[in-house]
Amino acid sequence: MEDRANGKLPVFHERPRISEAALLQAEDHVDRSAKIGRRRREKLSGHIPKGADTCFGNFPSEAERDFQRKTFSRCLAPPTILSSTAGATFAFHPHSKVPDEQARGISLPFTTARSSPRTQGCSIPPVESKICSPREVQEGSFLRRRSGSGGKAVSTAAMPPRQAQSPSSSSPSPPPPPIARIPRNIAPSEFRRFYDRRDLPVKVKHARSQNSVDWLTSPGELDYHHFLPIFMDGLREKEDPYRFLAVAGTYDLLQAAPKKVMPVLPQLILPLKAALNTRDLEVVVTTLKVLQVMVSTCEFVGEALVPYHRQLLPVLNIFKEKSKKTFDQMDYAQRKRLDVGDLVNETLQLLEEHGGEHAFINIKYMVPTYESVIFD
């Protein structure tokens, strides 16, 4: 009461803000429950690079691994036909359990375990079962899950689309899907190669609230001409610990010695351009945040980036209008700053404010829909 009377209120410690690298890890935990197996599908499709086979390196190319063959067959193989009679077809799916004799390719006769009174006295010849490889199964010889009509009422069954009565009146074909925003395959970065060789003075420091980077050497004492382009090249990684160390290490290097960034700027254009050209929303958002920190904290970087606008701004022009359409609803995730459309507009404004008198002309040339925040 005396403190309140004297005007001295208790001081509450502000909760530490979560870092951008820890925010990416938190978003991954949310996606694992909503999008199960997303990282696995991205690896199988070649969107993100695969890691090493073991901690000692990859297996020899001539050695065939059984577990890789089983993994691909379980994930990508359709149901395999076992046997076929005049009225029925028996099949199994790679996820189902198959006897060892059938898994080894040994043909077993199909016999009924119990005979009903209706079938007593009827001679059913045994049918040889055959294990077919997935390549031998032709497309259309089986039904995929939720594609059949079994168990559905007539009123709820999806009816096939009606065809035009007159073949002469053909409707125009729909336009092709836009390919400008389709994510590209991500190549392995130099950060991954250096980290696997233990050539980087960083390691993950695990904590209860959020992880951080444990530097073996002070980041301000490092050679920025060598290490900063490597960390920038790791911004396009989507797997931990590569992504976490690259993102958190980049922020630490930019904040430790901002004056060392300006001489290294020409070497940072190619890593930034490679990260933006992936067209992956997660990578583009991370790169835009790093670009904003570079322009706002490092002196003269905004003016030095004007000649490189033609390399960096084409992708920003593609995603400038890609923002959430919330209408009258509230977007509670805006504190995370994950909307790529808003980040593009913020980045363009920072480039104009810190780029000098010729910045707006170069931005307008690459992004025609951009409106100046300085000139009326």
pLDDT of residue 114: 44
* Residue 237: Cβ within 10 Å count: 25
Amino acid at 302: G
Instruction: Convert the pLDDT of each residue in 114-157 to its tens digit.
Output: 444 444 444 444 444 444 444 444 445 566 666 666 666 555 65
Residue of 38 and 295 predicted with greater confidence? 295
Question: Which residues have C-beta within 8 Å of that of residue 58, sequence separation ≥ 6?
Answer: 52
Sign of the C-alpha dihedral computed for residues 264, 266, 272 and 278 taken in this order: negative
pLDDT of residue 331: 80
For 349-369, b/e burial (b = at least 16 CB within 10 A) is bbbbebbeeebbebbeebbee
**Cβ atoms 306, 350 nearer than 8 A:** no
* Residue 145: Cβ within 10 Å count: 7
pLDDT of residue 109: 40
pLDDT of residue 159: 58
Q: What is the mean pLDDT of the chain?
A: 75
Instruction: Convert the pLDDT of each residue in 41-78 to its tens digit.
Output: 888 888 888 877 776 777 776 665 555 555 555 554 44
pLDDT of residue 77: 46
Question: Which of 246, 323, 324, 322 is CA-nearest to residue 287?
Answer: 246
Which neighbouring-strand residues pair with 81? 91
Residue 372, pLDDT > 60, answer: yes
Q: Where are the alpha helices (DSSP H) in 11-84?
A: 20-34, 38-45, 66-76
Count of residues for the chain? 376
pLDDT of residue 161: 61
Q: Can you tell me the distance from the alpha carbon of 204 to that of 225, in angstroms, rounded to the nearest whole number?
A: 23
Q: Which conformational region is residue 7 in: left (phi greater than 0), alpha (psi within -120 to 50 degrees), or beta?
A: left
Q: Can you tell me the distance from the alpha carbon of 76 to that of 316, in angstroms, rounded to the nearest whole number?
A: 36
275's tokens: 């990260």
What are the respective helix, strand and coil percentages of the chain, to the nearest 5?
45, 5, 50
Least confidently predicted of 172-176, 314-318, 367-371: 172-176
Residue of 183 and 120 predicted with greater confidence? 183
Residue 229, pLDDT > 70, answer: yes
Residue of 210 and 83 predicted with greater confidence? 210
**Cβ atoms 250, 232 nearer than 8 A:** yes
pLDDT band at residue 316 using 50, 70 and 90 as cut-offs? very high
